[in-house]
């Protein structure tokens, strides 16, 4: 199918985003369908939808779907079409369920899980997706620990390997006939004091890799930049943090420590230049602490990776009940930085586009939400940059939502009659940044700041860990704790190919 272009110079929904001059000139004659307000281009339902990524061809989306993954043709973003559905993924230790993450590079895809302990087989399976309509398994590995997130870069797979006793980045070579573990990096070997902290409060939640640097959000320990140019001996570069080990030791409320600010480094990534880093902080109101609110996104200048400098912040939209159990989640989740713009997901608060070309003063360009039906997991740019996709999950406790993949135009605009985040069944909030709240000093949902906001950075070089310690992460001793920020995953796992979601949406799991 021919790709439709959706970037227009002007129209009822606002001015187009700025693009390089050569690109703008090439698209100046394209006609665009008229819209009365900013709205999705297309939608396709996906049972169990979680993380979604875009293939290198820019025409295929790959979506983790709890009990497997699906591939979707997005060559026409207005008409996404199902290509393949891979369910019932088998490992030697059992079926791979609770799968919330999928990673793709070139013709290789890796499906890893479970995202939380206690859901059958633990490990990952690799696929050849040179034909996205017919994924072919090329190998698998049992790890003995759950995998919440991972990242594929060439032949190397970077895995978040968490157990009660360790929180490691483990690196595998998946390019040969046999999958081989080549190295690891350990927060606890570099900073042993964190071993005294509840393991979920120092959880390695995700991993992003670009230009031989790994960006590792370690929840309350902060986001660590690690040099992986030699995957056999990763080296510490620097980190940013909103709280300290000493402050964490003083915290006596595990729920507040894991779900409340400060801390909660959830996802971190850089733009294509590697100069701008964003960190999302997934958090809820816990009834304690000064920062008792949903988490937002912080922006850092990492031109010098050894010395990150905080630039600005984007606050979360506000709602009445901001607790985890309340179900009206408006906290930041996954995102993408591209060409001076931030594409972000905020669960039931929808998706946004910000101009972050001046990271000290982010500017909101577009915001769309439908809190009665959607809880957005991620936002990813579709090549060549005319649209972006966002996946909506069903798995938010005490909510009734729809699993789906949406596509949106990359343009500035305002949603017509946006629904309220305070009363989703009726009323509108308008398109302001504070979601209709009255006390702007306390509840501004898009507040920004250019000054330091209490970040602690450490640019010293820790050197190679040089350890020869044998694996301890293969003990499988994770237990059944609820991973920080995770949704009601146990409600999403069923049996058979045509899987149905159980109606119970309040389990011991997370996003």
253, 285, 321, 396, 397 from 326: Cα distances, Å: 19, 10, 6, 10, 8
Angle, vertex CA 407, rays to CA 405 and CA 410, nearest 5: 150
- Looking up tokens 């393991």 gives 199
Ramachandran class of 409: left when φ > 0, alpha when ψ lies in -120 to 50, beta otherwise: beta
Query: What ranges make up the beta strands (E) of 316-462?
Result: 335-338, 341-345, 351-355, 363-368, 376-382, 387-392, 404-409, 456-458
* Separation of alpha carbons 445 and 330, rounded Å: 10
pLDDT computed for residue 392 by the predictor:
98
How many Cβ atoms are within 10 Å of 363's Cβ, its own excluded? Answer: 14
Q: Which of 499, 498, 501, 481 is nearest to 490 (CA)?
A: 501
Tell me which fold the domain 21-492 belongs to. Answer: Methylamine Dehydrogenase; Chain H (2.130.10)
69, 108, 180, 209, 391 from 155: Cα distances, Å: 21, 9, 11, 13, 27
pLDDT computed for residue 184 by the predictor:
98
Contact 404, 411 (CB under 8 A): no
Environment class of 28 (CB within 10 Å of its CB; exposed 0-12, middle 13-18, buried 19+): exposed
Environment class of 106 (CB within 10 Å of its CB; exposed 0-12, middle 13-18, buried 19+): middle
Blockwise average pLDDT, block size 10, the chain, 511 residues: 30 35 29 69 97 96 97 97 96 90 98 88 96 97 96 98 96 96 98 95 97 98 98 98 95 90 97 98 90 96 98 97 95 97 98 98 97 97 92 93 97 94 64 40 40 43 30 36 55 33 31 44
pLDDT computed for residue 254 by the predictor:
86
pLDDT computed for residue 471 by the predictor:
33
């Amino acid at each position: 199918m021919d790709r439709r272009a959706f970037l227009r110079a002007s129209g009822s929904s606002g001015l187009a985003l700025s693009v390089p001059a050569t690109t703008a000139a090439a698209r100046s004659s394209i006609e665009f369908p008229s819209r009365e307000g900013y709205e999705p281009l297309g939608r396709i339902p996906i049972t169990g939808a979680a993380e979604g990524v875009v293939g290198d061809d820019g025409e295929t989306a790959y979506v983790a779907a709890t009990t497997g993954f699906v591939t979707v043709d997005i060559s026409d973003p207005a008409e996404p079409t199902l290509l393949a559905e891979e369910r019932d993924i088998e490992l030697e230790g059992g079926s791979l369920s609770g799968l919330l993450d999928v990673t793709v590079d070139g013709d290789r895809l890796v499906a890893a899980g479970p995202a939380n302990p206690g859901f059958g087989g633990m490990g990952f399976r690799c696929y050849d997706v040179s034909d996205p309509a017919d994924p072919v398994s090329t190998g698998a590995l049992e790890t003995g620990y759950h995998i919440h997130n991972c990242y594929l870069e060439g032949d190397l797979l970077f895995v978040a390997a968490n157990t009660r006793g360790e929180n490691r980045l483990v690196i595998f070579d998946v390019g040969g006939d046999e999958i081989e573990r080549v190295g690891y990096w350990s927060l606890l070997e570099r900073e042993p004091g964190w071993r005294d902290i509840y393991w979920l409060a120092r959880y390695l939640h995700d991993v992003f890799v670009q230009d031989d640097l790994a960006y590792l959000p370690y929840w309350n320990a902060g986001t660590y930049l690690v040099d992986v140019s030699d995957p056999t001996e990763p080296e510490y570069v620097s980190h940013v943090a909103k709280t300290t080990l000493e402050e964490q030791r003083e915290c006596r409320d595990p729920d507040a420590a894991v779900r409340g600010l400060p801390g909660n480094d959830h996802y971190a990534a850089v733009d294509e230049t590697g100069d701008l880093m964003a960190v999302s902080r997934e958090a809820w109101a816990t009834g304690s602490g000064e920062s008792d609110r949903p988490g937002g996104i912080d922006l850092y200048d990492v031109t010098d990776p050894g010395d990150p400098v905080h630039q600005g912040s984007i606050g979360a939209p506000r709602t009445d009940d901001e607790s985890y159990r309340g179900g009206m989640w408006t906290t930041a989740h996954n995102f993408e930085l591209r060409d001076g713009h931030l594409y972000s997901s905020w669960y039931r608060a929808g998706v946004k586009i910000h101009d972050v070309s001046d990271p000290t003063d982010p500017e909101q360009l577009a915001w769309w939400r439908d809190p009665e039906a959607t809880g957005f997991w991620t936002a990813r740019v579709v090549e060549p940059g005319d649209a972006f996709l966002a996946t909506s999950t069903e798995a938010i406790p005490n909510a009734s939502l729809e699993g789906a993949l949406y596509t949106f135009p990359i343009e500035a605009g305002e949603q017509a009659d946006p629904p309220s985040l305070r009363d989703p069944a009726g009323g509108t909030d308008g398109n302001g940044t504070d979601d209709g709240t009255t006390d702007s000093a306390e509840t501004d949902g898009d507040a920004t700041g250019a000054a330091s906001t209490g970040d602690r950075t450490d640019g010293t070089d820790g050197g190679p860990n040089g350890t020869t310690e044998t694996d301890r992460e293969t003990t499988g001793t994770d237990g059944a704790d609820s991973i920080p920020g995770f949704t009601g995953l146990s409600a999403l796992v069923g049996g058979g190919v045509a899987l149905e979601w159980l109606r119970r949406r309040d389990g011991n799991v997370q996003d």
